[in-house]
Amino acid sequence: MVALKEEMETKPAKGLKEAEEVIARAIRKIGARKENELCKYLPMKSGGYMHHFTLRKMKYKQPQDLAAIIERFVVNADRPIVIAPKQRAARGSRKRKDHMNFTRIQLERMLNIARLAGDKEIITILSPKKSLASCKRELIQAIRQNRLDPELWNSYVEAIHAQQILGGDLGTSSTL
């Protein structure tokens, strides 16, 4: 039982040394400078070539398997072949298709139409969201000018509620 345990403990170390020797031979064969450059020559079942994290993980956890893969595709191959990268989804492909994008001018026109119609719900939806600091600045300026702006007050209240929902501390900085 003790002999089996000692053999199990030394086996990964032996496998790691063997794997490192195979990696060194493969690096020399392809003329690489770093171990990670081997990845482009090692195909994966899911398509594309091996990721460098996978190479490092296999080196320490499955050294015999890694050595076998490297020997098969690099060391024993007449001319090692660079594997094409795995096909990935195009950038922005996860964007919602039913979402409508409007220009700033179009939004302003729709906001004016909503104001003319008196639809307060649409006005609040289409109105640009202002930061709490900018709302406070504009409110103070409106007070100094003796001007009443209910939409500005509503945007201030919305900013306060948004900050409360996000868990921000209101303290003294968010009151007029």
**What's the pLDDT score for residue 4?**
39
**What pLDDT digit, counting tens, does each position of 55-81 carry?**
999 999 999 999 999 999 999 988 888
**What's the pLDDT score for residue 103?**
86
Q: How confident is the model at residue 27 (pLDDT cuts 50, 70, 90)?
A: very high
Average pLDDT over residues 162-170: 63
**What's the pLDDT score for residue 7?**
43
**What pLDDT digit, counting tens, does each position of 130-165 carry?**
788 888 999 999 999 999 888 788 888 878 877 777
Average pLDDT over residues 82-93: 79
Average pLDDT over residues 83-94: 77
Alpha-carbon span 147 to 126, nearest angstrom: 23
Sort 100 into a burial class: Cβ within 10 Å, 0-12 / 13-18 / 19+: exposed
Instruction: For residue 78, list its beta bridge partners.
Output: none
Alpha-carbon span 35 to 156, nearest angstrom: 57
SS3 49: strand
Q: How confident is the model at residue 6 (pLDDT cuts 50, 70, 90)?
A: very low
Least confident of 6-10, 43-47, 91-95, 124-128: 6-10
**What's the pLDDT score for residue 8?**
43
- Model pTM? 0.46
**What's the pLDDT score for residue 2?**
44
| Sequence spans of domains, the chain | 8-75, 104-165
Which residue intervals of the chain are DSSP H helices?
2-30, 52-61, 63-70, 104-117, 120-126, 132-144, 150-165
Report the mean per-residue pLDDT for the chain. 81
Q: What's the token pair of residue 104?
A: 């700033």
